[in-house]
Amino acid sequence: MQGVHFINLEEIMDIFEEQQQREDQEFSEREEVKRRIMELEKDYKQKREVFEQQLQLAQELEAEMNKIAAENKDFTNTEKEYRKQKAESRRKLREREDVETQERHQELMSEEESRTRRSYMKEVEDETRLLRKQKEEKTAELEQLLQGNNDKEQIQKLREAEKESKPKLEQVQEELQRKDTEVDTDVKDERHPKNDKWQRCLIFLWKGVKVAGYITFCVLLPVEVIASMAPDCNLPAHDCDLYNVVYDLLDSYCPHHALPVY
């Protein structure tokens, strides 16, 4: 009894069932793969049919377009030829009409008509001379008006120069006032009584610099403006009032008012 091996039927049945399940699963997977392959083949066939149909349609469309292009080319050539023939026909017709008109005109011309024509031409020439004279007079008046406008342009340029120079002058005056304040503050400071002599020297020196600055600015500014504007003034000496305009514009900026000296 000790050498006898017993077979467990339950284990055998479990193994058999597991094997059967695996086989069933593999069969199901193979069937699923087959089904997918068939679907893919079906889709491929359908897409290929659609592609072939579209390709055929494109080829037919291309052939139709080539046909239309050839017809358009023929039509264009025909139209060009027609226009050329039409232009040639018109040219010949005009030449024939011109010849006939000249012949008819020569036949109808008489001595009385010739005299009338000469009289008319003389009147036209007189009117032309009168118009030319009026044109010359109007041109002279226009030049005078333009010359008057030139004076206005010169004055406008001077006023623009005044506007551009005014901020610079105000900036210089502010700087001078600031320096005056600093010098007065230094004079009132009693912390350095031994430097009174040097402070007085600095005050006189600064006042001299300030006066020189005013004089330089008030003299060089109109000179610069006149020098820049003089080339543009082409008027006669008795008509060009440029210097008076400059002094009128810059008179308010100078610390001491004075009349221009000629």
**DSSP line for 73-107:** HHHHHHHHHHHHHHHHHHHHHHHHHHHHHHHHHHH
CA atoms within 13 A on the CB side of 51: 6
pLDDT of residue 28: 87
3-state class of 252 per DSSP?
coil
Q: Is the whole-model pTM more than 0.85?
A: no
pLDDT of residue 259: 41
pLDDT of residue 53: 92
- pLDDT tens digits in sequence order for the chain, 262 residues long: 455 555 667 777 778 888 888 888 888 888 999 999 999 999 999 999 999 999 999 999 999 999 999 988 888 888 888 888 888 988 888 888 888 777 776 776 666 666 776 776 777 677 767 767 776 776 777 667 666 555 566 656 666 766 666 676 666 667 666 666 665 665 555 444 445 555 666 666 666 666 556 555 555 555 555 555 544 444 444 444 444 555 555 555 444 444 444 3
Give CA–CA dist 51/62, Å, rounded. 16
Give CA–CA dist 92/88, Å, rounded. 6
pLDDT of residue 50: 92
Long-range interactions of 240-245: CB distance < 8 A, separation 24+: 240/151, 242/154, 242/158, 245/154, 245/155, 245/158
Instruction: Mention every residue, 6+ apart, whose C-beta is less than 8 A from residue 157.
Output: 229, 232
> Any idea where the domains of the chain sit in the sequence?
9-108, 149-250
Which tokens sit at 101? 């008109």
- Return the C-alpha torsion angle 213, 216, 217, 219, nearest 10: 150
